[in-house]
Amino acid sequence: MAIPDATGSTIPQDETCQAEGKDGGCRLTASDRLQIERFLSFADNSSVVYSQLLLELLNRKLQAADVIEGAAPPDLAAFGRHISCVVDETEAESGVLSFGLVARAGEIPVHSLLGATLIGLSVGQRTRLMSEDGTSRSLVVTRVGAPFGA
């Protein structure tokens, strides 16, 4: 099933958590699921206009991801962890994955397409990073650091 994004393009619904590599899918801790649900509820009731592509991506992750009870495995991109990735095999990106509504230097917020794509992936996984203009780029998670403050 295809879902239209804000540009009128479509993205297959079943590809959200189908990443190549280690586990072949995404996993969310119960805590991360709760934070995503809270953000989506805020977005539904807010006057802030968020990207439809972003909202659909997060909703699909909630539907498709395996849930992990307890602490996240050390290689899992989870809130509060420092994540490094490579986009299109040339652009290095890194920052702390956050659920804050205000983006700060050194953070990758879940309300960005990069953050929404990264949450729930593991080191070594490759997936597509969608853009608002309908293009996609290759993304590989290269490193997951310790939770912030640990």
pLDDT for residue 119 is more than 80:
yes
Asked if the 2-147 domain carries CATH number 3.10.50.30, the reply is yes
Considering the chain, what percentage of its residues have pLDDT values greater than 70? 81
pLDDT tens across 40-58, in order?
999 999 998 999 999 999 9
**pTM of the full structure:** 0.82
Confidence of residue 9 (pLDDT cuts 50, 70, 90): very low
pLDDT at 146: 84
Residue spans of the domains in the chain: they are 2-147
**Residue by residue, what is the 3-state secondary structure of the chain?**
CEEECCCCCEEEHHHCCCCECCCCCCEEEHHHHHHHHHHHHHHHHCCCCCCHHHHHHHHHHHHHCEEECCCCCCCECCCCEEEEEEECCCEEEEEEEECCCCCCCCEEECCCHHHHHHCCCECCCEEEEECCCCCEEEEEEEEEEEECCC
